[in-house]
Structure 1
Amino acid sequence: MATNNVKKVWASGKAVVNAWLAIPSGFSAEVIAQCGFDSVTVDMQHGVQDYLSMVQCFQAMNGHPVTPMVRVPWNEPGIIGKVLDGGAYGVICPMINTPQEAKDLVQFAKYPPKGTRSNGPIRAGMYGSAGSYQQTANDEIVLLPMMETKTAVENMEAILDVEGIDGVYIGPSDLGFSYGLVPKLDRDEPEILKIYEKIIKECGKRGLNPGIHCSGAEGAVRAINMGFKLVTLSNEVGLMSTYAKMQVNQTRKDSAGKA
């Protein structure tokens, strides 16, 4: 198993720039993988991806210098083991609200003696010579529980103390939602920014890497300057529609009413 590029970037002191795939298309994944991202995450929670489309995305990205990751639909051992067997180098898991749920995530994702993951890396095993994958998987796979509720924030320190996680991933929409605010990505409410500051501080104390979902470059740069170590730039749907709208609007505007 090759060294995880996400961990290499973190070790260099830099932040990871992450892509997000909602569209079940190997071709979309292939295009995104050539755009300069450090990692590419297939979204199996809110995207329209399924397991086979995830594998197709991974196959399409193979050969490009990006780390394949997955946001699983839920903290459940079957799907976590299966995405890892399919070749994921990182797992982002939604709605982790308690230290026990974080411990469960670690158990589901790691081989014995650190966890209870079943052996059978059907596709991931092809990353190295026969039998070598199992020797390094526990150390190389990135685990990021999502901190996106008021309950999770209240349990912050206890969750971050769980051995085996590499950081946390903030879902700004759900986090704001749980505090009675409108769901959006780039948050500016003082009470939420205060939570971000505490998460970054507590992660720093433990050598962990906080990540966050952003709507684009402006929000990502702001997050990096705050201290976040992984930033996601929208998703390919958002990037495509934003640029398409911009081009259509510019065409109509600059054609002096001819379009």
Structure 2
Amino acid sequence: MSFRVDPDRSLKDALRGADHALTGIWVCSASALNAEICAGAGFDWLFIDAEHSPNDLQNVLAQLQAVRGYPTIPVVRPPVNDPVIIKQFLDLGVQSLIIPMVNDAQQAAAAVAACNYPPLGVRGVGSALARSARWNRIPDYLTRAAETITVMVQIESAEAVGNVADIVATEGIDGIFIGPSDLAASMGVIGQQGHPDVVAGVIKSIQAAKSAGKYAGVNAFDQASARKYIEAGADYVGVGADVALLARATEALAASFKGESQSSAPASY
């Protein structure tokens, strides 16, 4: 029995055919059950985070399996731009990656290389052992793997914003994902994602990606900010997280029985 390469499970393929900005939700609980609940909620993409969340290879694998039957596109962020770690996630069957903390074109090129087999890159060959190739049940996987993989790199520092034109010009990069929280920290205004300098950096990065013919995404849990960035041209937006929704909903429920007002919390992490 053979299986086909499935490029329509990749974020770039969903973006290519989209007539609206794609909204996504983070899954940070390391729970396959939560991932499946979120996958059935109607979001376009699902952001499985392994940088700031307790997700490891086993947890990510379980979540990929749990959401496989849903139309939402799973996207995974590894903890670091490292070829060994990226290789492991790819071999699990991850098809869409957001690589964190990419500050210049050299780091962007390294991310691309990690996601491609030679001669285009340095990804190690282990298809007979890997879910990505369905254990060599997908014909010609080694020569066609690049068709199924989306490589997004994260713009989340003032340095990256300064280098964004070079980053989006990097061959093999499908687009960028902008992180206003870390961007604010790098600009000296930590916790102020809505600071004018941060917003200007986000919009500059969106415009640079669009000018280069690449996709632009941004994290914006605040709905007003999300809509502003969509109007500015963002193709995909992360608009919430499972753990944040659970935190706010449980706080509100507890407060409602104590006659208390719900405490305020930041609109993003």
Q: Which residue of 1 aligns with 2:186?
A: 178
Q: Is 1:106 aligned with 2:112?
A: yes
Pick from 94, 116, 133: which aligns with 1:125?
133
Q: Which residue of 1 aligns with 2:95?
A: 89
Q: Deviations over 1:195-233 (max 9, x none)?
A: 222112111111111111122444322321221111112
Q: Which residue of 2 aligns with 1:247?
A: 253
Closer/same/farther in 2, CA of residues 75 and 245 from structure 1, 3 Å limit: same
Aligned residues: 252
SS at match of 1:19: strand
Question: Unaligned 5+ residue runs, structure 2?
Answer: 261-269
User: What is the CA distance between 1:83 and its match in structure 2?
Assistant: 0.4
Contact kept in structure 2, 1:67 and 1:89, CA below 8 Å? no
Contact kept in structure 2, 1:69 and 1:90, CA below 8 Å? yes
Q: Which residue of 2 aligns with 1:60?
A: 66
* In structure 2, C-alpha distance between the alignment counterparts of 1:120 and 1:96, rounded to whole Å: 26
Identity of aligned residues (%): 29
Return the letter of the residue paired with 1:162.
T
* In structure 2, C-alpha distance between the alignment counterparts of 1:218 and 1:37, rounded to whole Å: 18
* In structure 1, C-alpha distance between the alignment counterparts of 2:225 and 2:58, rounded to whole Å: 32
User: What is the CA distance between 1:55 and its match in structure 2?
Assistant: 0.6
Return the letter of the residue paired with 1:198.
K
Closer/same/farther in 2, CA of residues 65 and 146 from structure 1, 3 Å limit: same
Contact kept in structure 1, 2:81 and 2:100, CA below 8 Å? yes
Closer/same/farther in 2, CA of residues 10 and 128 from structure 1, 3 Å limit: farther
Question: Unaligned 5+ residue runs, structure 1?
Answer: 255-259
- Per the normalisation by structure 1, the TM-score is 0.90
Q: Is 1:168 aligned with 2:204?
A: no
SS at match of 1:84: helix
Q: Is 1:76 aligned with 2:82?
A: yes
* In structure 2, C-alpha distance between the alignment counterparts of 1:203 and 1:128, rounded to whole Å: 36
User: What is the CA distance between 1:244 and its match in structure 2?
Assistant: 2.1
Closer/same/farther in 2, CA of residues 226 and 128 from structure 1, 3 Å limit: farther
Q: Which residue of 2 aligns with 1:134?
A: 142
Q: Deviations over 1:120-139 (max 9, x none)?
A: 24111129943343343213
Q: Which residue of 2 aligns with 1:235?
A: 241
Q: Which residue of 1 aligns with 2:265?
A: none
User: What is the CA distance between 1:117 and its match in structure 2?
Assistant: 1.0
Matches within 5 A, 1:172-251: 172-184=180-192, 187-251=193-257
The 4+ residue runs of structure 1 with deviation greater than 4 A are none
